[in-house]
């Protein structure tokens, strides 16, 4: 089965109009993100103060700092809840609007398009593929942006403590960026290949179940089971690759971050 040719460049900007529609929800969620991220340097400062007071034997001061820290944790978790709830809501709304527009667009296509396409493939694109789009939006605002804010806050605090040592530790960052880009491109290639294979399997299942009377009439169950097994094996074989790639990426990042902090 042939699949539509994909652009080599990023297509994420296509989602910009859908994301802009949810700007109020995203802005409210960003307030929770700022509360969540902003507490980390405060926690580092409180930890330093607590250690100093503990070394001096001031138990009452340590108790006060612990109480303040626990109250700060409570506020931070409230901010995290606001971020998680509102970001999830925005991602679901984006997926809903994209799915509705894609379904409307499909109805406007010519009959020749439906003759060339398979029903299972269209169903997969309208369900699983668009769910992945919602996941991308959620990961962007729920994970990527908070992580970047945390990086800025942590590096800023490190510069405040010792800017010479911070600059020395940041020598590895260009190499980390290159490797992260390479791992990301490899995972993207696999993800696209895997989605196409799952789409083919979905098309096969839809085709067989819609014509199950013919399959039974010609006693073709064994043939269809063999076809299904072959398509399923195509998915199972490359599925071994990404966990290894992800493990390699995770171990490299762990090693790099350990080196950086040490």
* Residue 68 and residue 131 share a domain: yes
* Residue 246 and residue 169 share a domain: yes
| CATH number for 18 | 1.20.1560.10
What is the residue-averaged pLDDT of the chain?
Answer: 78
What are the phi and psi torsion angles at 162 (to 5°)?
A: -160, 100
Which of 161, 179, 202 represents a domain boundary (last residue)?
A: 161
* Domains: count for the chain: 2
Question: What is the pLDDT at residue 237?
Answer: 66
pLDDT in tens, 93-106: 988 998 899 888 88
Quote the tokens at residue 30: 């960003």
On whether the CB atoms of residues 86 and 28 are closer than 8 A, the answer is yes
On whether the CB atoms of residues 15 and 133 are closer than 8 A, the answer is yes
Give the confidence band of 222 by pLDDT, cuts at 50, 70, 90: confident
Least Cα distance to 46 among 70, 13, 26 occurs for 70
Question: What is the pLDDT at residue 11?
Answer: 67
Give the confidence band of 2 by pLDDT, cuts at 50, 70, 90: very low
The region of weakest confidence among 5-19, 76-90, 182-196 is: 5-19
* Residue 189 and residue 145 share a domain: no
Give the confidence band of 161 by pLDDT, cuts at 50, 70, 90: confident
* Residue 148 and residue 170 share a domain: no
Question: What is the pLDDT at residue 122?
Answer: 80
Q: What average pLDDT does range 101-128 have in this prediction?
A: 82
pLDDT in tens, 20-41: 888 899 899 889 888 888 887 7
Which of 127, 161, 195 represents a domain boundary (last residue)?
A: 161
Which of 161, 185, 201 represents a domain boundary (last residue)?
A: 161
Range of the domain at 198: 163-262
Question: What is the pLDDT at residue 158?
Answer: 78
Q: Who's near 111: CB < 8 A, 6+ residues apart?
A: none
* Residue 131 and residue 102 share a domain: yes
* Residue 126 and residue 86 share a domain: yes
Least Cα distance to 125 among 104, 141, 102, 101 occurs for 102
* Residue 143 and residue 37 share a domain: yes
**Number of other residues whose CB lies within 10 A of the CB of residue 90:** 26
In total, the chain counts a number of residues equal to 262
Whether the per-residue pLDDT at 244 is higher than 50: the answer is no
* Residue 152 and residue 28 share a domain: yes
Task: Round to whole Å and give the CA distance between 173 and 127.
Answer: 38
Q: Who's near 172: CB < 8 A, 6+ residues apart?
A: 256, 259, 260
* Residue 52 and residue 121 share a domain: yes
Give the confidence band of 238 by pLDDT, cuts at 50, 70, 90: low
* Residue 125 and residue 7 share a domain: yes
Q: What average pLDDT does range 114-130 have in this prediction?
A: 78
Least Cα distance to 195 among 103, 124, 123 occurs for 124
* Residue 150 and residue 114 share a domain: yes
Give the confidence band of 111 by pLDDT, cuts at 50, 70, 90: confident
């Amino acid at each position: 089965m042939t699949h539509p040719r994909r652009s080599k460049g990023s297509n994420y900007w296509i989602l910009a109009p859908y994301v802009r529609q949810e700007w109020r929800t995203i802005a409210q969620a960003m307030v929770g993100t700022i509360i969540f991220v902003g507490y980390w340097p405060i926690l580092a400062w409180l930890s330093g103060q607590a250690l100093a007071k503990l070394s001096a034997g001031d138990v009452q001061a340590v108790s006060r700092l612990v109480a303040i820290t626990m109250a700060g944790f409570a506020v931070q978790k409230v901010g995290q809840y606001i971020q998680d709830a509102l970001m999830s809501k925005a991602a679901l709304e984006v997926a809903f609007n994209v799915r509705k527009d894609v379904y409307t667009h499909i109805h406007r296509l010519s009959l020749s398009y439906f003759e060339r396409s398979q029903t299972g493939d269209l169903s997969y694109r309208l369900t699983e593929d668009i769910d992945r789009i919602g996941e991308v939006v959620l990961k962007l605002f729920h994970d990527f942006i908070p992580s970047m804010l945390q990086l800025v806050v942590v590096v800023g605090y490190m510069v405040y403590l010792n800017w010479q040592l911070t600059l020395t530790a940041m020598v590895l960052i260009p190499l980390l960026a290159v490797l992260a880009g390479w791992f990301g491109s490899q995972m993207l290639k696999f993800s696209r290949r895997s989605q196409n294979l799952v789409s083919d399997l979905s098309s096969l299942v839809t085709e067989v179940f819609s014509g199950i009377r013919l399959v039974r009439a010609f006693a073709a169950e064994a043939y269809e089971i063999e076809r299904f097994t072959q398509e399923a094996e195509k998915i199972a074989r490359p599925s071994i690759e990404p966990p290894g790639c992800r493990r390699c990426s995770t171990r490299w990042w762990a090693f790099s971050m350990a080196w950086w902090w040490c």
